[in-house]
Amino acid sequence: MFLEGKTALITGAGSGFGQKMAIAFAAKGANLVLNDINESGLEETRNLVLKQSNTQILLIKADVSNSEEVNEMAKKTFETFDNVFLLVNNAGIDGGLYTALKAKEEVYDKVFAINVKGPLNVTKAFFRRMKRQKQFQPISGKIINIASVAGTPNGANPMLGIYSASKAALIAFTRLFALELGPSNITVNAISPGVFLTPIYNNDPKLIRQFLETRNVKIPIDRIGEAEWVADLALFLASPTADYITGQNLIVDGGMSISINKL
Ligand SMILES: NC(=O)c1ccc[n+]([C@@H]2O[C@H](COP(=O)([O-])OP(=O)(O)OC[C@H]3O[C@@H](n4cnc5c(N)ncnc54)[C@H](O)[C@@H]3O)[C@@H](O)[C@H]2O)c1
């Protein structure tokens, strides 16, 4: 129960990976702050968590791209809890299928606002309090950014050009935050999933297979990912076993990104 007495805040917790991480963290004793713009999704996540764990849960509807709403979220969080040990920047959108040069300006603005400015807004709203959490020594807090294989050099995806660039920026911010917050004993890492069955792909394995075939992508461990595997990796990063890991981007993709043009 290594998260007992610790609060985990997850953005985009009303669906997909965010929902599975909420269940996984609560099972290790965490209290939860669950954020999303989708209130019914948040309620669904709360019900799923409470089926398995008796934990304190605060639901906060807020748009991560709006710094005022994010600052209000920080205020509400600390009215209820005395810490945020674990901060997971998970909310993200793909913005549709466009090559980078054909994407409309609005697509760029929206995808970067949610996928890049969102994690920056949330981290800025919480890091000062996280730094002061000496009760958890040797580590005061942990930040996990959910990026994507599409943001890595091997995985850059021309059909999701804006999304790819946004996730590459998030991986860069992960390293920058790790440098800035390391001296305060806060670890910052990214997780980059490959293709996983979540609502972002309409929960449809056929759609994913088609997508892989059109791009001639093969996965060495030839399975489509299940959202729990991302939650398990987040749990590892949240655990004391990972206290000396920071500034890293952990890829969980069945080997997809090392196999491009090789299988
Ligand atoms: N599913 C995959 O295969 C995959 C692969 C790589 C990376 N990712 C990343 O994982 C993260 C989670 O995606 P998922 O697959 O669980 O998708 P999802 O669509 O199921 O979940 C994303 C959640 O974020 C919420 N959200 C969207 N905009 C928001 C905003 N402005 N403020 C707060 N919440 C907002 C949505 O309402 C939704 O509940 C995303 O960052 C995504 O880019 C997913």
Q: In the chain, what are the domains?
A: 7-259 (3.40.50.720)
Residue 42 burial (C-beta neighbours within 10 Å; 0-12, 13-18, 19+): buried
- Tell me the whole-structure pTM to 2 decimals: 0.97
Look-up: residue for tokens 């920080």? 74
Q: What is the pLDDT of residue 211?
A: 80
pLDDT band at 204 (very low <50, low <70, confident <90, very high): confident
Query: From ligand 1's centre to the CA of 89, what distance in Å?
Result: 10
Whether the pLDDT of residue 88 is over 70: the answer is yes
Q: Which of 98, 108, 163, 244 is catalytic?
A: 163
Ligand 1 neighbours by CB, cut-off 6 Å? 11-12, 14-18, 35-38, 41, 63-65, 90-93, 114, 118, 146, 148, 193, 195-196, 198-201
Q: What is the pLDDT of residue 202?
A: 79
Q: What is the pLDDT of residue 163?
A: 96
pLDDT digits (tens, 9 = 90+) for 132-176: 999 999 999 999 999 999 999 988 888 899 999 999 999 999 999
Give me the chain's average pLDDT, please.
95
Query: From ligand 1's centre to the CA of 135, what distance in Å?
Result: 32
Cβ 37 vs Cβ 62: under 8 Å: yes
CB-based contacts of 193, cutoff 8 Å, min separation 6: 17, 146, 148, 149, 225, 230, 252, 253
pLDDT, mean of residues 237-258: 97
pLDDT band at 263 (very low <50, low <70, confident <90, very high): low
Ligand 1 pocket, mutate which of 69, 93, 211 (most atoms under 8 A from CB): 93
pLDDT band at 207 (very low <50, low <70, confident <90, very high): confident
pLDDT band at 260 (very low <50, low <70, confident <90, very high): confident
pLDDT band at 262 (very low <50, low <70, confident <90, very high): low
Query: From ligand 1's centre to the CA of 137, what distance in Å?
Result: 31
Is residue 163 flagged as an active site residue?
A: yes
Whether the pLDDT of residue 75 is over 80: the answer is yes
pLDDT band at 261 (very low <50, low <70, confident <90, very high): low
Ligand 1 pocket, mutate which of 9, 10, 15 (most atoms under 8 A from CB): 15
